Amino acid sequence: MLRRRLLAAPLAAAPGLAPVLAQGAGEPPIALRAMGSFHIGGREAVVTGRPVKEVALVPGSVPARIDPNGTYQVEAMYVQYHLPAAPRGAVPLLLWHGGGLTGVTWESTPDGREGWQQYFLRWGWATYVSDAVERGRAGWAMSPEIFQGDPVFLTKQDPWERFRIGAGPGSWRTRTALPGTQFPIDAYDAFMRQVVPRWTTTDAAQLAAYRALLRQVGPAVVLAHSQGGLFACRAAQAEPAQVRALVLLEPSGFGEATPEALGALRGIPVLALYGDFIDQDARWPAIRQRGLDFYEKLRAAGGAVEVVSLPERGLRGNSHMMMMDRNNQAVAQVVQDWLAARGLWQ
């Protein structure tokens, strides 16, 4: 099994990386048993009918004959893992990002502080950070031949106004942030450098890759953000034996609501977190209500769901990107305490 080979990988094989991981102010270095990465999932796709071209692959070089017709390996997902030397999590922690983003979401904050990957490693969790199909290191495929339709690109004003960082529509023009925001607005440009295109037609491929990951490294806790909530819920419904808990950070999508699908989640505790400024936003009250309706159906089917409004816990100013906000460690602590209370951390 690949998982056994991953667990056996020595830290010594990656000299010099441990000091890079120890960036928490006043924190000791993170001790790892192993680290690495792999790609998982995907399929073969055949392209035909495209013209053959002569292309200079390097300026001034002899042109190469490029025939785009043939078989491609597509729709794989990238996964980066870190295994602590002294594990305390009962199972691995899988971190799944949101739309237009990659696994960088979890690695570091835009202003250079430790991200949730480091926090949970320090608590003794084995972490698996993914770049979903067609994001980041997962790579693209030919479009529209393989990826149907056009990718969606985000302007700089889009997350500012839509992720509850700025003070609503039009606030980008004046760079007006929400009063009391915890997002590190001075690092907004750094955040936008990590934003990537996304397709709206690859959900089935993304779900298939996430399911493959669960089958390989599960049982696991799945911690998912925004669009990742859709895949977390549906992967858990399809692979319930591989999921010990779901942690959903402001999910924008949810699972199937049929009796059978809801029943599959009955034994999987769910934590849903929501940040600040929701009631004054144009879209987020409706998005949150969709979630509340789903959670209520799940409870009626015998599921266990806890919904946490961070302001009600005294954590104010959180944007949609709560894992990057200045109080991100306090938010992570809410997740950690909830997991520990359910016997998933020793």
Q: Which parts of the chain have pLDDT scores under 70?
A: 1-25
* Residue 252 and residue 287 in contact, taking contact as beta carbons nearer than 8 Å: yes
Per-residue model confidence as pLDDT tens digits over 156-210 = 999 999 999 999 999 999 999 999 999 999 999 999 999 999 999 999 999 999 9
In a domain, 64, yes or no: no
Task: Give phi and psi for 44, each to the nearest 5.
Answer: -95, 140
Gap between the Cα atoms of 107 and 84, Å rounded: 16
Residues β-bridged to residue 79: 38, 130
Residue type, 206: Q
In a domain, 67, yes or no: no
pTM of structure: 0.90
Gap between the Cα atoms of 219 and 305, Å rounded: 19
pLDDT at 66: 93
Cα distances from 215 to residues 126, 220, 292, in angstroms, run 16, 10, 29
Into how many domains does the chain fold? 1
pLDDT at 24: 59
In a domain, 63, yes or no: no
- Domain CATH for 96: 3.40.50.1820
In a domain, 48, yes or no: no
In a domain, 285, yes or no: yes
pLDDT at 25: 63
The rounded Cα 324 to chain-centroid distance in angstroms is: 13
In a domain, 183, yes or no: yes
What stretch of H or E contains 74? strand 70-74
Structural domain including 332 reads: 2-42+76-341
Per-residue model confidence as pLDDT tens digits over 54-99 = 999 899 899 999 999 999 999 999 999 999 999 999 999 999 999 9
SS3 (DSSP) at 187: helix
pLDDT at 307: 98
In a domain, 60, yes or no: no
pLDDT at 283: 93
In a domain, 65, yes or no: no
